[in-house]
């Protein structure tokens, strides 16, 4: 499809150390050749641009890893190339994820000058003990200082916090969240700590060295979060993301509303014109892919209509605005993509709301997203007309 809008994701795969809860594609290396990486990312980007002509670029997102460790000149070169491959929307959103270490904060002015207009800061906690537990390389003091600099240097600043840590209570989380809401930000990402397979925390939990907060206590903290952020005018527009009206992440909305996005850099996923793409995860494999083939793609395959319809439902249900299940069925040529009897039952039990064919999770339903998806997702092929 030509002429549509497009989001661009760029993955920088390096971090100074590996956090014990992290299952992202992040790697620690003693040295990084910035020139080599700039050229590889630019080549990978040019490959996507050749396959996606005439798009209007609505957002760029530098994720990682820790993209604030990129040289600002590299960031600038990628933004320059992207906006010459595609015409950029006048209000193109350019986000970069940053950690609040002082070394990185010292780069904020240069990153802003390179074209980044939105910073997403990984504060994670205001408490030094919690930061140590999370294996973070910054202190709470550095975090506050970095936020202050970011708010001066960037038009839009979001920050992340992780809650539902072992020992968290409603009193401690409400104090932290109250403090966060007073910091003048217009977007917050609030994640519950989850123990992901293959992480150091998973090993510790298996050995009995870490006891995750129990599900009921975590659910109570989620409800508290919902109430406090709504009262402060920053309701959740997605399961874990909160914003003032108009300050939502346009880039992430593209994912959840099932728009096309190009993904470049190690491990990046993309979706273009009905194809899903995935780059080599390991940085060295990515570099050798680019030098041999001119791109870092490890896998590229067409999405079946069943997969695409299912993905669109899964993504859309994350959003407060919900998803039009009838429109998805129509788009992909199915009779239905959900089991309407079950949708009706979940609406009666207060977990879903239905308005014509649009389905939304209620606050109670948002706590049970995966379970509800398992209950309702059911692609029904269109009944064939039989000639008599
Ligand atoms: S800084 Fe972020 S990407 Fe890097 S290891 Fe920690 S959580 Fe993972």
How many whole angstroms from 134 Cα to the centroid of ligand 1? 10
- Distance from first CA to last CA of the chain, Å, rounded? 38
Ligand 1 atom with minimal separation from the 97 CA: 2
| pLDDT score, position 104 | 83
State the Cα–Cα distance between residues 372 and 342, nearest whole angstrom. 9
How many whole angstroms from 66 Cα to the centroid of ligand 1? 7
Residue 22 Cβ < 6 Å to ligand 1: yes
How many whole angstroms from 14 Cα to the centroid of ligand 1? 9
- Helix (H) / strand (E) element for 157: namely strand 156-163
Q: What is the pLDDT of residues 290-306, one digit of tens each?
A: 999 999 999 999 999 99
By C-alpha distance, which of 53, 48, 57, 56 is closest to 2? 53
Q: Whose CA is nearest to atom 6 of ligand 1?
A: 19
* pTM, 2 dp: 0.94
Residue 340 Cβ < 6 Å to ligand 1: no
Alpha helix locations (H) across the chain? 34-51, 72-85, 102-105, 108-113, 128-133, 140-153, 170-181, 200-206, 215-231, 250-256, 283-293, 305-317, 325-332, 340-348, 363-366, 369-376
Mean pLDDT value across residues 8-16: 96
Strands 5-12 and 56-64: parallel
How many whole angstroms from 227 Cα to the centroid of ligand 1? 29
How many whole angstroms from 4 Cα to the centroid of ligand 1? 33
Mean pLDDT over each residue of the chain, to the nearest integer: 95
| pLDDT score, position 388 | 39
Q: What is the pLDDT of residues 166-190, one digit of tens each?
A: 999 999 999 999 999 999 999 999 9
State the Cα–Cα distance between residues 353 and 339, nearest whole angstrom. 14
Give the residue, out of 16, 27, 29, 64, with the most ligand 1 atoms within 8 A of its beta carbon, to mutate for a pocket test.
64
Residue 296 Cβ < 6 Å to ligand 1: no
How many whole angstroms from 191 Cα to the centroid of ligand 1? 14
Q: Whose CA is nearest to atom 5 of ligand 1?
A: 18
Ligand 1 atom with minimal separation from the 99 CA: 1
> How many percent of the chain have pLDDT more than 70?
98
State the Cα–Cα distance between residues 333 and 127, nearest whole angstrom. 52
Q: Whose CA is nearest to atom 2 of ligand 1?
A: 65
What angle in degrees, to the nearest 10, is found between the helix axes of 305-317 and 325-332? 160
Q: What is the pLDDT of residues 123-159, one digit of tens each?
A: 999 999 999 999 998 999 999 999 999 999 999 999 9
């Amino acid at each position: 499809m030509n002429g549509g809008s497009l989001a661009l994701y760029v993955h920088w795969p390096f971090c100074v150390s590996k956090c014990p809860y992290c299952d992202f594609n992040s790697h620690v290396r003693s040295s990084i050749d910035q020139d080599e990486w700039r050229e590889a990312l630019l080549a990978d980007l040019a490959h996507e641009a050749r396959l996606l002509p005439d798009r209007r670029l609505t957002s760029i997102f530098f994720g990682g890893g820790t993209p604030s460790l990129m040289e600002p000149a590299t960031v600038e070169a990628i933004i320059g190339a992207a906006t010459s491959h595609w015409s950029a929307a006048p209000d193109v959103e350019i986000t970069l994820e940053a950690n609040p270490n002082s070394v990185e904060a010292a780069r904020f002015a240069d990153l802003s000058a390179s074209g980044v207009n939105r910073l997403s800061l990984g504060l994670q906690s205001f408490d030094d003990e919690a930061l140590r537990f999370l294996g973070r390389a910054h202190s709470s003091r550095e975090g506050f200082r970095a936020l202050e600099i970011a708010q001066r240097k960037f038009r839009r600043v979001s920050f992340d916090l992780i809650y539902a840590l072992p020992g968290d209570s409603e009193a401690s989380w409400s104090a932290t969240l109250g403090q966060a809401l007073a910091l003048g930000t217009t977007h917050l990402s609030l994640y519950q700590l989850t123990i992901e397979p293959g992480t150091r925390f998973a090993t510790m939990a298996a050995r009995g060295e870490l006891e995750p907060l129990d599900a009921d206590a975590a659910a109570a903290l989620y409800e508290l979060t919902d109430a406090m952020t709504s009262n402060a005018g920053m309701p959740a527009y997605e399961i874990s993301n909160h914003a003032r009206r108009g300050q939502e992440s346009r880039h992430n909305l593209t994912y959840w509303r099932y728009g096309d996005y190009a993904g470049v850099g190690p491990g990046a996923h993309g979706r273009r014109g009905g194809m899903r793409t995935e780059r080599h995860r390991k940085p060295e494999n990515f570099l050798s892919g680019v030098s041999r083939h001119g791109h870092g793609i490890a896998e590229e395959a067409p999405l079946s209509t069943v997969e695409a319809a299912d993905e669109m439902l899964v993504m859309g249900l994350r959003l407060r605005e919900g998803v039009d299940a009838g429109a998805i069925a129509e788009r992909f040529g199915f009779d239905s993509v959900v089991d309407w009897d079950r949708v009706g039952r979940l609406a009666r039990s207060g977990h879903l709301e239905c308005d014509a064919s649009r389905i939304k999770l209620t606050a109670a339903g948002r706590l049970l997203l995966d379970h509800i998806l398992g209950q309702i997702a059911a692609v029904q092929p269109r009944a064939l007309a039989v000639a008599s």
